[in-house]
Amino acid sequence: MYETNGEKYFIVDGHVAFWDASPENRNHFGEGFIKCFYDYHRNLGPAEYLWSFEKFAKYSEDDLLHDLFEVGYADHAIFQPTYLTDFFPSGFNALEKNAALIEKHPGLFTTNGAFDPRDGDAGLAQLEADAERYGLKGVKLYTAEWKGESRGWRLDTPEAARYLEKCQELGIRNVHVHKGPTIWPLDRDAFDVKDIDGAATDFPELNFIVEHAGLPRLEDFCWIATQEPNVYAGLAVVIPFIHTRPRYFAQVIGELLYWIGEDRITFGSDYAIWQPKWLVEKFVDFQIPDDMQSELGVLTTDIKKKILGLNIAALYDLDVPAEAAAVAADAITAAVGSEPLSAA
């Protein structure tokens, strides 16, 4: 656990990848995609954590273990696979590669699966096989992924409902959906957060973790998540703004606390775009500026502990050390200026 100023923080990095964007595994679109990722890497992070583009495109297993666990404070990390085979023929961040690391390093990782409703019956059979083989507790969805002539899909369609029903049947409770900034050459509208609304209503037993909190559609996300108690905000991509735009980050985290509360916000570094070491350190030290607190409240130590690990540990039934678990029991309500807004 991360320890500072007499406090211990159980860290679960809820959004990591082990990707292969090497020249041998990318076409023209894949090259543009990874270069877009790299622009986020170099523009939002501290200079001392900047990698060369060549390393960024394909880093090593040793890099991953070192950055997450040796120096990055993570007690556990969750792989969020994304295939993007129209751009990366062998898959960008494949479940099978993630699972091999779990076998090699037991206890450190959980891997989620993935599905695409455009795969029809074959995709359903694959999801069932993956769930049985890997004991899946979650899936990562990329609604803007290209597939042949199709340039995206929606979560609130009958085709997607078949897969969500299968998740429910298989005990896959956690549905992580990329709903964030556009990545070239993907289409902006295919990342729109609005399809979360109907899916969350129709499947109340599933947890919908909206990765990147819907940015830049934060207002839409907040209004949806307020009325859908099974919708969560993932801070991957959000939290790096703590370095370059701290007041913007304060506004975003303050809005999330106001609308949905501290129990439905989860931490993710989006490794390897960013490294968890500096994100954890800066978040633990961060406070909403004084002149913003009358509307947005304050970030207490207990709130930070929930966001950095306890919330997602509960979603994935992870074992939490006794000293951290006690915080979860004690911090039922946090002082953030008001209770989270709820629909009438």
What b/e sequence results for 255-287 when a residue is b if at least 16 CB atoms lie within 10 Å of its CB, and e otherwise? Answer: bbbbbbbbbbbbbbbbbbbbbbbbbbebbbebe
| Structural domain boundaries enclosing 171 | 8-330
- Domain presence at residue 1: no
Please answer whether residues 213 and 252 qualify as being in contact, where contact means their C-beta atoms are separated by less than 8 angstroms. yes
- Domain presence at residue 341: no
pLDDT tens track, the chain, 344 positions: 899 999 999 999 999 999 999 999 999 999 999 999 999 999 999 999 999 999 999 999 999 999 999 999 999 999 999 999 999 999 999 999 999 999 999 999 999 999 999 999 999 999 999 999 999 999 999 999 999 999 999 999 999 999 999 999 999 999 999 999 989 999 988 999 999 999 999 999 999 999 999 999 999 999 999 999 999 999 999 999 999 999 999 999 999 999 999 999 999 999 999 999 999 999 999 999 999 999 999 999 999 999 999 999 999 999 999 888 765 544 433 333 345 665 44
pLDDT confidence of residue 257: 97
Largest CA distance in the chain: 56
- Domain presence at residue 318: yes
pLDDT confidence of residue 13: 98
- Domain presence at residue 200: yes
Structure tokens at 83: 């295939």
d(CA 275, CA 71): 9
pTM recorded for the entire structure = 0.93
pLDDT confidence of residue 343: 47
User: How many percent of the chain have pLDDT more than 90?
Assistant: 92
How many separate domains does the chain show? 1
Residues composing the chain: 344
- Domain presence at residue 344: no
- Domain presence at residue 136: yes
Please answer whether residues 207 and 176 qualify as being in contact, where contact means their C-beta atoms are separated by less than 8 angstroms. no
Q: What is the CATH number of the domain that holds 300?
A: 3.20.20.140
Please answer whether residues 137 and 317 qualify as being in contact, where contact means their C-beta atoms are separated by less than 8 angstroms. yes
pLDDT confidence of residue 323: 83
Q: 196: which residues sit within 8 A by CB, 6+ positions away?
A: 155, 156, 177, 179, 208, 210, 221, 224, 228, 231
d(CA 146, CA 28): 14
- Domain presence at residue 3: no
Give me the sign of the Cα torsion angle 315, 211, 8, 67.
positive
- Domain presence at residue 168: yes
